[in-house]
Amino acid sequence: MVDFNFEREVRTPYSEAYAILEDDRPIGRADIHFASNVVHVTLVVDESVTQEAVQEIIDTIDEDMADAVGINRDEFIIHVFQGRETGVFSDSSFGENGKEH
């Protein structure tokens, strides 16, 4: 069993976003969206994460995070993407013509 930590980055009335850490190293991100009776999750993990670890992350999201909001859900849908991060971009990072400040 792998020990993951989830750090909430954003919370709205209908969604949450978490950084996923293993030993304080970021290994992924989970975006959870709550619709009427459906929970939609987009899970993005580093290419080094094993399928067993992916399943553990999914189980944690399902059991500890999605159920914690207290909605009666009929369906839990999760999309998993695996690869490497190429950067984090925001409006404040770029000036005119898309060039960095």
Is residue 81 one of the residues assigned to a domain? yes
Q: Any idea what the CATH number is for the domain that residue 22 is in? A: 3.40.630.30
Write out pLDDT tens, residues 6-63.
999 999 999 999 999 999 899 999 999 988 888 999 999 999 999 999 999 999 988 8
Write out pLDDT tens, residues 71-93.
777 888 999 999 998 888 888 76
pTM for the model stands at 0.82
Domain enclosing residue 62, as ranges: 4-85
Is residue 99 one of the residues assigned to a domain? no
Is residue 100 one of the residues assigned to a domain? no
Is residue 56 one of the residues assigned to a domain? yes
Place of tokens 């399943």: 55
Is residue 45 one of the residues assigned to a domain? yes
Would you call 18 exposed, middle or buried from its count of C-beta atoms within 10 A (0-12, 13-18, 19+)?
Answer: buried
| Phi (first) and psi of residue 22, to 5 degrees | -125, 115
Structure tokens at 82: 């695996």
Is residue 98 one of the residues assigned to a domain? no
Is residue 93 one of the residues assigned to a domain? no
Q: How many domains does the chain have?
A: 1
Is residue 101 one of the residues assigned to a domain? no
